[in-house]
């Protein structure tokens, strides 16, 4: 069991998109947790909270600036527009890792229980480079969200996408792990499938995911579905293989049907063939459409990858009082 030689500097990274109602609540909660952890000597006193304002249209940036006046260990990073949750997390991590030994990413709405941060750091001290926050229950989620999530994880396992079930983006990553993550060049970011690819010693902590404390969800059904499709198609080519299998099967059935038709004709039993004709047209037409659209999705991915657009653009940052950083030896 490895124990770290140095008290780590922790950076808490929060992506925030239109979170003016809840930001102040979570910041004061995190400040208290930070004080407790410093007292226990689990993290250094210059640990910090970094909030990424993902192009909010409400007063989020103003709240960050106001809070900065009473919390010198707060860093604000403002993106030039809304880049989405995953890119905001990456922006926060790439900025935060310049200063911290370990980063913990968590949602700004207090759904990720900050009381397990302590346990995450203990696991880091025991040698883990990545510690996943895993929901022990989804009782607070709606029936639909609970079951659609379950179906999604089942499908991912079936399609060979390696993910930790019931883990979203609440996780601790050491500097080593974050640096490895930032080396991945992809534009289609789906962190919960990218992080398990990194390897390293990992661990899990379990927590009850609470209700959003204020404000509204930024993931309506449409966004959730496109996130799920994106996740699968960015990490697995299994759908193409399945379609190939289906195509082969349908072709074999068609082959048998052709032989049967020739046989019927030879013995002079020529039926009008209306139903088989219609079935063939519809079946093959449908399969063709599905196949083409799946291939289209992958071509779309290649399209976004080759463009190599930056994933985020930082417009401005708050003055940082956290300086004189000594990286871990
Ligand atoms: N978020 C973001 N950019 C977006 C959408 C969401 O930074 O475009 C942040 C949001 O402020 C929150 C986290 O991502 O901190 C998770 O979003 P939300 O709580 O709305 O998702 P849900 O918990 O409903 O799935
Ligand atoms: Mg939420």
- For the cut 70, the answer to whether the pLDDT of residue 328 exceeds it is no
Say what the pTM is: 0.82
The preferred substitution site among 55, 76, 109 for testing ligand 1, maximizing ligand atoms within 8 Å of CB, is 109
Q: What's the confidence (pLDDT) of residue 270?
A: 67
What percent of the chain has a predicted confidence (pLDDT) above 70?
94
The preferred substitution site among 21, 78, 107, 148 for testing ligand 1, maximizing ligand atoms within 8 Å of CB, is 107
Strand 202-208 to 130-137 pairing: parallel
CA of 21 to the centre of ligand 2 (A): 13
88 C-beta closer than 6 A to ligand 1: yes
- For the cut 60, the answer to whether the pLDDT of residue 154 exceeds it is yes
204 C-beta closer than 6 A to ligand 1: no
CA of 232 to the centre of ligand 2 (A): 21
CB 219 within 8 A of CB 18: no
Question: What is residue 215's DSSP assignment?
Answer: S
- Got the DSSP string for 59-104? SHHHHHHHHHHH-TTEEEEEESS---HHHHHHHHHHHHTTT-SEEE
Question: What is residue 218's DSSP assignment?
Answer: S
Considering only CA atoms, which residue is closest to atom 13 of ligand 1? 107
CA of 164 to the centre of ligand 1 (A): 19
Give the pair of three-digit tokens for residue 12: 């808490």
- For the cut 80, the answer to whether the pLDDT of residue 308 exceeds it is no
Nearest to 212 by CA among 148, 291, 141, 132: 141
- In tens, the pLDDT along 237-250 reads 778 778 778 887 88
CA of 90 to the centre of ligand 2 (A): 18
What ipTM goes with this model? 0.97
- The beta strands (E) that lie in the chain are given as 10-16, 48-53, 74-79, 102-105, 130-137, 167-174, 202-208, 314-317
* Order of strands, sheet of 10-16, starting from the edge strand that comes earlier in the sequence: 202-208, 130-137, 167-174, 102-105, 10-16, 48-53, 74-79, 314-317
CB 93 within 8 A of CB 119: no
54 C-beta closer than 6 A to ligand 1: yes
User: Of 206 and 268, which is predicted with more confidence?
Assistant: 206
Average predicted confidence (pLDDT) for the chain:
86
- For the cut 80, the answer to whether the pLDDT of residue 2 exceeds it is no
Atom of ligand 1 nearest to the CA of 15: 7
109 C-beta closer than 6 A to ligand 1: yes
pLDDT category at 76 given cuts 50, 70, 90 is very high
Q: If you average pLDDT over residues 316-325, what whole number do you get?
A: 71
Which residue shows structure tokens 């449908």?
286
Give the pair of three-digit tokens for residue 325: 């950083």
Q: What's the confidence (pLDDT) of residue 273?
A: 72
pLDDT category at 29 given cuts 50, 70, 90 is very high
Closest ligand to C-alpha of residue 26 is: 1
What percent of the chain has a predicted confidence (pLDDT) above 90?
46
CA of 91 to the centre of ligand 2 (A): 19
Residues in the chain: 329
Considering only CA atoms, which residue is closest to atom 23 of ligand 1? 217
Closest ligand to C-alpha of residue 60 is: 1
- For the cut 50, the answer to whether the pLDDT of residue 329 exceeds it is no
84 C-beta closer than 6 A to ligand 1: yes
Considering only CA atoms, which residue is closest to atom 25 of ligand 1? 219
């Amino acid at each position: 069991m490895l124990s770290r030689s140095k008290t780590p500097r922790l950076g808490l990274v929060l992506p925030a998109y239109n979170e003016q109602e809840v930001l102040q609540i979570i910041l004061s909660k995190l400040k208290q947790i930070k004080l407790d952890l410093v007292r226990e000597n689990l993290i250094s006193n210059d640990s910090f909270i970094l909030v990424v304002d993902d192009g909010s249209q409400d007063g989020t940036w103003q709240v960050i600036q106001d809070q900065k006046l009473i919390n010198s260990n707060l860093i604000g990073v403002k993106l030039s527009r809304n880049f989405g949750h995953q890119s905001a997390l990456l922006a926060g991590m790439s900025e935060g890792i310049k200063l911290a030994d370990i980063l913990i990413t968590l949602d700004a709405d207090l759904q990720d229980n900050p009381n397990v941060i302590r346990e995450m750091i203990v696991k880091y001290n025991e040698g883990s480079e990545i510690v996943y926050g895993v929901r022990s229950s989804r009782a607070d989620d709606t029936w639909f969200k609970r079951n659609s999530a379950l179906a999604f994880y089942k499908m991912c396992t079936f399609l060979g996408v390696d993910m930790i079930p019931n883990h979203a983006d609440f996780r601790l990553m050491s500097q080593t792990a974050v640096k490895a993550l930032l080396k991945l060049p992809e534009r289609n970011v789906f962190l919960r499938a990218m992080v398990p690819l990194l390897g390293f010693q990992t661990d899990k902590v379990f927590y009850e995911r609470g209700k959003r404390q204020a404000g509204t969800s930024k993931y309506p059904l449409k966004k959730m579905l496109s996130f799920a499709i994106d996740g699968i198609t960015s990490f697995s080519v299994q759908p193409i293989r399945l379609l190939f299998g289906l195509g082969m099967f349908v072709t074999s059935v068609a082959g048998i049907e052709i032989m049967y038709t020739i046989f019927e004709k030879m013995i002079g039993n020529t039926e009008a063939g209306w139903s088989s004709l219609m079935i063939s047209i519809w079946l093959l037409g449908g399969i063709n459409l599905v196949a083409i659209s799946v291939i289209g999705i992958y071509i779309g991915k290649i399209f976004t990858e080759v463009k190599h657009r930056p994933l985020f653009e930082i417009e401005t940052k708050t003055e940082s009082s956290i300086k004189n950083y000594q990286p871990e030896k």
